[in-house]
Structure 1
Amino acid sequence: MNRQRALAVTAAGAIATALSLAAAPASAEILDAKAEAARDDLHGNVSQGVIDGLQDAFGLTEAEAYDRLAVEDVAADLLEEVPADLDESYAGLWVSEDADEIFVATTDASDSTGLRAEGATPVLVAHDLATLEDAASALSAVTIDGYYGNYIDVVANTLVVEAADAATAADVIEAAGIDPALATVDAGAEAPQTYFVRGGDAYNIENSWRCSVGFSVRQGSTPGFVTAGHCGAAGDSVTGGEAAPGTFRNSVFPSADRAWVAVGSGEALYDDVNMYSGTRDVANANVAAVGSSVCRSGSTTGWHCGTIQAFNQTVRYAEGAVYGMTRTSVCAEPGDSGGSFITGNSAQGMTSGGSGNCRTGGTTYFQPIGPALSAWGLTLVTT
């Protein structure tokens, strides 16, 4: 694959640049080889709908869509391996904007040789991921009006504090007792909201409001689906819409935003996602890296795509704080809550909430599917 290599520049400045320049030739060749192998596996195993969706969302040719998926597959594999290999020096992994390079941030320059050998471009930074995560955890107890949440920006190697204005953000940082050098401020951020409305179709809860199905699952022999926790409480009934009738068996909101609905034993479970111009098969629940493409399906706005921006976002809704969300550039609107987030054929999670809309764009958060599957012993229905 032909690639135009990006220059890795972060807060670490000249050292990060020097590492990237030294790493580029070897890393590029190894990544090319890994991506080519992944690309071969993708042919025949990825539906044309996946490719068409990427072409529409990112303005790609068919060949470029396959190239992007191949690099994202390599990144997903490295995301499982690299954090444990680097341990205390690990500071994050992401795919470049054009999906032609995989960056791994580290606080130890001696990691660079091993990272190049894996096909990654090493970037030397000041703060390891654990330090930033500890700072984020210290913010959990802070409740100040106008404080909307936080997330770790691995590309910039910083903890981002979202607030209505800079003064509020400064108060939050001081109240948490964290080092201001670890944080940057997103002043003027919009207040997030959960996405659900009254009436409508898709699936209706208690004959009163509407949400969207996430993914088909089973608990033992009991069929059902996962969705957002704010859509309903345990015991609430699903009474209509496009989904089969059922009952919320478990639901968590706030703190998390996940739920699962059990449906009748005779109901059929489909191993795909509605793209509103076809369907996309679900093959697994492999976690996609930051920078990877991701698409969302919801009953209000249909199918929209964007990229993954950050993991472990804290979102402070009016109803309470939610932790461990994934931040995306995908738009969504009321009624899309609970709907599917998917990368390639890998289930990622269920729509939680966000800000903006699908006319002007916005930010949307999803609840990763993994915690729901593990907490309730659910099995994802796959092809």
Structure 2
Amino acid sequence: MTKSPSRTPRRLATTAAVAGLAAFGLIAPSTASATGIDGYGASVQHAAVSSLAADAHVSAAEATAQLRAQQAATDTVHAVTGALGQRAAGGYLDAKGTPTVNVLDAAAADQARAAGAVAKVVRHSSAQLADAQGALQALPAVTHTAIGLDEQANRIVVTVSDAAKGPALDRLLAAARGFGERVAVEHVTGAMHTAIYNGEAITGGGTRCSVGFNTNKGGQNYIVDAGHCTRAVSQWNVGPSQGASFPGNDYGLIRNSNSTGPGEVSLYNGSTQRISSAATATVGERICKSGSTTRLTCGSVTRTNVTVNYSEGSVSQLIQTSASVNPGDSGGCLFDGSKGLGITSGMGGGSSYFQPVGEALSAYGVSLN
């Protein structure tokens, strides 16, 4: 998985997330209009609509309507799964953006439908899937593999890169087979790794990463970034690293001593997107990410609670998406309109992985600018 420092070569400081470099661009407040999507700046709306229209083979108008309804749909998923408790086995947005909840019995299905969600009766409970995932993750970690929850298929998926080798892999695959239908194995090409390249964006010690989210605490600006970046570099061009949680997690903190820290994401076209809140990612949610290498790219959340086994160590509870990420994007931001969702951690096998931003904000006691 490549952790991608985001590049914002030209301007360090003043863009969004942070200090220095524009690694992660946040957004400027959007203006509501008859054709606008609440919370989306014009550039992000264009990119998100184009991405969804291409992926789902729908018109721009249909894609716009789906994105307009997305916030209410994700709210429904979280409200219904919360109300059902153990009778629900997760929820997601389907290809058309419809809130869908996995349930274990007919009564729960009726309750979900009454609350506005599509109910899907499934075989495996959240506890059963968690037990399987926990058992697999308790085995010796196999570099270039990932283990995550596929709520749409009601199973755990073990993703194996063609770079994964050795006896430990054989034990992992044997254990996966032992869980029957609860666990599926998928094979992908391309190693999973973190990557910090020389270059622009926030720099230090010959290393480049992208800016994550501009935050503050007690009147001081900080940048919440990828932990693999702040662990590797003690002094950036924007200020010193103040913390790093990696592996295990992938978040870190940089004291922003040399630049302003507007709460906006750089979109690499002269515009920005305002980030006004942090939220939890939902499977099926359409998202965008900003980074200094691939700049603004969009896609959807494909899995949550994913453990990725980098060569530097394992990171758990990551968000998996289809948005394009490459080396140099590490630390950059994942967002849905004005909602911040995650920090770019890495990539591999055609997927990108993000540390949930809410956990980082809570760990350091900082607030979004």
1:135 aligns with 2:137: no
Question: How far apart are residue 189 of structure 1 and its match?
Answer: 5.1
Q: Measure the CA separation in 1 of the matches of 2:39 and 2:338.
A: 9
* Distance in 1, Cα, partners of 2:109 & 2:175: 37
Q: Which residue of 2 aligns with 1:161?
A: 158
The correspondence for 1:263, drawn from 256, 259, 264, is: 256
Amino acid of the residue matched to residue 263 of structure 1?
N
Specify the code of the residue in structure 2 equivalent to 1:375. Answer: A
Q: Report the residue type matching 1:200 in the other structure.
A: G
Q: Does 1:299 align with 2:292?
A: yes
In the alignment, what sits opposite 1:51?
45
Whole-Å separation in 2 of the counterparts to 1:163 and 1:234: 27
**1:76 aligned residue:** 74
Gaps of 5+ in 1: 1-37, 240-244, 357-361
Aligned pair 1:202/2:197, yes or no? Answer: no
**Bigger relative contact order, structure 1 or 2 (CA pairs below 8 A, ≥6 apart):** 2
Partner residue, 1:192? 192
Q: Which residue of 2 aligns with 1:96?
A: 94
SS at match of 2:138: coil
Offset of residue 143 of structure 1: 1.9
**Rounded Cα–Cα distance in structure 2 between residues aligned with 1:129 and 1:46:** 33
Larger radius of gyration: 1
SS in 2 for 1:300: coil
User: Which residue is 1:24 aligned to?
Assistant: none
Cα distance between partner residues in 1 of 2:365 and 2:177: 38
Q: Per-residue CA shift, 1:4-36, capped at 9, x if unaligned?
A: xxxxxxxxxxxxxxxxxxxxxxxxxxxxxxxxx
Within-5 A mapping of 1:1-383? 45-59=39-53, 63-99=61-97, 101-143=98-140, 145=142, 148-164=145-161, 171-172=171-172, 174=174, 179-188=179-188, 190-197=190-197, 199-206=198-205, 208-233=206-231, 236-239=234-237, 245-264=238-257, 267-277=259-269, 278-355=271-348, 362-381=350-369
- Aligned AA for 2:104? T
Contact 1:142/1:176, CA 8 A, preserved across alignment: no
Change (3 A) 1:143 1:118: same
Per the alignment, do residues 379 and 92 of structure 1 end up closer, same or farther by CA in structure 2, a change over 3 Å counting? same
TM-score normalised to the size of structure 1?
A: 0.79
Aligned-residue identity in percent: 32
Separation of aligned partners in 2, 1:345 and 1:248: 27
CA deviation after TM superposition for structure 1 residue 135, in Å: 1.5
Q: Does the C-alpha gap of structure 1 residues 292 and 44 become closer, same or farther in structure 2, counting only changes over 3 Å?
A: closer
Over 3 Å counting, the alpha-carbon distance change for 1:268 and 1:39 in structure 2 is same
Distance 1:77 1:379 in 2: 22
- CA shift digits 1:233-288 (9 cap, x unpaired): 2871112xxxxx11111111111110111112x73211110111221111211223
1:203-223 CA distances to partner (integer Å, 9 max, x unpaired)? 1123x1101011111122220
The answer on whether the counterparts of 1:215 and 1:340 sit within 8 Å (CA) in structure 2 is yes
User: Which structure has the highest helix share of the two?
Assistant: 1
Aligned residue pair count: 330
TM-score by length of 2: 0.82
Contact 1:72 1:288 in 2 (8 A): no
Does the 8 Å CA contact 1:94/1:102 hold for their aligned counterparts? yes
Q: Residue 278 of structure 2: SS of its match in structure 1?
A: coil
Deviation at 1:337, TM superposition (A): 0.3
Letter of the structure 1 residue corresponding to residue 152 of structure 2: V
Contact 2:144–2:309, Cα closer than 8 Å, also in 1:
yes
Determine the C-alpha separation between the residues in 2 that align with 1:177 and 1:315.
20
Q: Which residue of 1 aligns with 2:5?
A: none
Letter in 2 for 1:270: P
Cα drift, residue 171 of structure 1: 2.2
Aligned equivalents of 1:162, 1:128: Cα separation in 2: 21
Displacement of 1:146: 5.8
Q: 1:166-190: per-residue Cα shift (whole Å, max 9, x none)?
A: 9976621545896333111113454
2:243·2:252 contact (CA, 8 Å) conserved in 1? yes
Mark the runs of 5 or more structure 2 residues left unpaired by the alignment.
Answer: 1-31
Letter paired with 1:70: R
Contact persistence 2:223–2:254 (CA under 8 A): yes
Root-mean-square deviation (CA, aligned residues, Å) is 2.7
- 1:34 matched residue in structure 2: none
1:210 maps to a residue whose letter is R
SS in 2 for 1:126: coil
* 3-state SS of 1:115 partner: helix
Instruction: Work out the CA distance in 1 between the residues paired with 2:152 and 2:363.
Output: 31
